[in-house]
Structure 1
């Protein structure tokens, strides 16, 4: 007998890979952001993402392309990929919510749940656990939640205003949207044709208690690759993990 939890885990995903990555220049002068390589790995960000999705049982991925789409498509066509990949290109800017809806329309199984991730996220955590969390809460959408490190040193004080400690780059006291999602089959119908789902769909689902948040497990690796500094930090962190 098939475990109902296992049966509800997504086997399809969307990667949003259309951003211009202006803060990552000059790396993005000739390639889209997801095609930037993590130093020392020899593989672009999207290559690591596809491997991670395949390890979670995903067999089909739709990649939403935009800026320098042909560079990404050429790499996908030539690479030995662990999943079947379909690419879509917006003919006009649709916004993040509209772009997600457009990409979801090309998923092979619209009646099944799906993962989604931003194309600049470099992370490793058990996606299957997140999918089970989503199912248990009967949510329309579940967001992964991260606590990124604050890039400055923090100061700790006591009740009298005396400084008691200095903490270098502490974790944020707030959780942030980690850019990785699990969506139920009907979620795409809730997305706007144009615009940002984080200003429309997500707030509405939160008010209806249909939006869940999955905290990344302690010790899970997560980083959004937005700047050249992020690339350098990711390379150092990976070197540390390898030791």
Structure 2
């Protein structure tokens, strides 16, 4: 049976892969952050992202490079990739919003919606469901929302102040921007040519009720790889997932 939502879903994406990853040193001394490998997989973060995007129906990806761009471009040029990849490099820093706008200019279908993701996110959830959510709400932009585990143990108490339980690394009570997006055609024109869209474009769309938030389903895997500890934790979680 034909899926009535299929035609409205994105088949193109942007990966923002220009960060220096200073908190991941020494892993990022000779490679950009998205080229850091998840221990035990033999594959860099961006390799996992490209596989995931392909599984979700994406055929074309624009990778915005920056720090040690030549290392990333060489890997992309010599790897057997599941999607068509175009790389772009900013001639001067444009900020997150400006960089996203610049990269979007190289998408092959400017009249169609698109996904975007930060280059340090390792996740698995249904982008198709997120795209349908975006369409149903008539949003211009939709961001995935995650509840990351806080790095400390939590203490539960009763109404009298007695400690009743200890919870190791519980999920946050707040949702955060998970660094994965769905954007409608024309969204790039709303982005600043320089600067941060999260301080300009997103707040404006939120006031206009044209910005949606898609909660990543409970049990779906999500992690931002910011530090060496994140790499270690990701490797442990992967071992658990494949058992």
TM-score bracket for this pair, using the shorter chain length: over 0.9
Structure 2 distance, partners of 1:91, 1:17, is 15
C-alpha displacement of 1:160: 2.1
Deviates more, 1:162-171 or 1:27-36: 162-171
Structure 2 distance, partners of 1:212, 1:2, is 27
Which residue in 1 is equivalent to 2:170? 170
Structure 2 distance, partners of 1:187, 1:164, is 49
CA RMSD of aligned residues (A): 1.0
Structure 1 distance, partners of 2:55, 2:2, is 20
Which residue in 1 is equivalent to 2:195? 195
Which residue in 2 is equivalent to 1:86? 86
Q: Alpha-carbon deviations, 1:96-126, whole Å to 9, x = none?
A: 0000000001100010000000000000001
Matches within 5 A, 1:1-243: 3-243=3-243
Structure 2 distance, partners of 1:161, 1:236, is 35
- In the superposition, the TM-score normalised over structure 2's length comes to 0.98
C-alpha displacement of 1:158: 1.8
Q: Alpha-carbon deviations, 1:133-174, whole Å to 9, x = none?
A: 000001000000000001100011122222221111100000
C-alpha displacement of 1:203: 0.5
Aligned length: 243
SS, match of residue 213 in structure 1: strand
- In the superposition, the TM-score normalised over structure 1's length comes to 0.98
Gaps of 5+ in 1: none
